[in-house]
Amino acid sequence: MTADCPVLLIEEFEELAHAAPETARLEFINGRIEVKPVPDGDHFEIVRWLQKLCLQHVPDLWLYPERRLKVEKYRKGRAIPDGVLAPDEHFSGHSEWSEPSGVLMVVEVTTRDADTNRRVRVEKRDGYAAADIPVYLLIDRENCTVTVHCEPKDGSYRSLTTRPYGTPVELPAPVGFTLETEKLKKFAP
């Protein structure tokens, strides 16, 4: 079961994901179906906080929550990032799953589940890099850190910056603003 030899066809996965209950979100990463639990209130507040900051700093862009994206080599993966930064109205006319072209940044906020390390820190990161998404922002609630991945090339991000909560972190072009992370301390375990 890999992206080259998946357990089911992408069309079958999309039908299954569309019919999934509201208590779970399904993703198709690395040729496997992944079940992502519905996030808690702090998770949603972190995404809301980031949405507000993006609107203040880059008002012609919008941080779309949970926009479904086609990722990975040959677009055989399907991921639901916690946030997708793209130009305002970018997804108008798109179907349920969008191509990643035009996406400037994806955001993941970790949840407290057993497969977070593999799914968010490795597989989704690699899928976003393979899709040439310029910036991947990981807000890691477990480690109280913010990590910026950028400069995708050949399926990997060439640059990585990790800072603890409370330390400013630069979101490079095409995002282009400094993220003040002091507020994240409120959501630390």
Does any domain span residue 29?
no
Q: Please determine, for residue 172, whether its predicted confidence score (pLDDT) is greater than 70.
A: yes
Q: What is the mean pLDDT of residues 53-60?
A: 96
Task: Judge whether 128 lies within some domain.
Answer: yes
Mean pLDDT of 3-27: 65
- Assess if residue 171 is contained within a domain: yes
Q: Which two tokens stand for residue 49?
A: 């906080």
Provide the pLDDT confidence category of residue 9 given band limits of 50, 70 and 90: confident
Region 159-183: mean pLDDT is 97
pLDDT of residue 52 exceeding 60, the answer is yes
CB 40 within 8 A of CB 50: no
For residue 35, tell me if it sits in a domain. Answer: no
Q: Is residue 18 part of a domain?
A: no
Q: Check pLDDT > 70 for residue 189.
A: yes
Q: Which of 20-29, 123-132, 180-189 has the lowest mean pLDDT?
A: 20-29
How confident is the prediction for the chain on average, in pLDDT? 85
> CA torsion angle for 169, 188, 129, 3 (degrees, to 10)?
180
User: What does the pLDDT average to over 148-156?
Assistant: 95
Domain around 82: 40-187
In this structure, are residues 36 and 84 in contact, taking their beta carbons and an 8 Å threshold?
no
pLDDT in tens, 25-49: 666 766 777 666 656 668 889 999 9
Total domain count, the chain? 1
| Residues 65-123: tens digit of each pLDDT | 999 999 876 457 888 899 999 999 999 999 889 999 999 999 999 877 666 667 778 78
Q: Could you tell me if residue 47 is inside a domain?
A: yes
User: Phi/psi of residue 96, each to 5°?
Assistant: -60, -35
- Asked if the structure places residue 103 within a domain, the reply is yes
Q: Helix (H, G, I), strand (E, B), or coil: what is residue 85?
A: strand
31 inside domain: no
Residue 132 has pLDDT above 50, yes or no: yes
CATH code for position 122? 3.90.1570.10
Which pLDDT does position 105 carry in this prediction?
Answer: 98
Please tell me the pTM assigned to this model: 0.80
What proportion of the chain, given as a percentage, has pLDDT over 90? 58
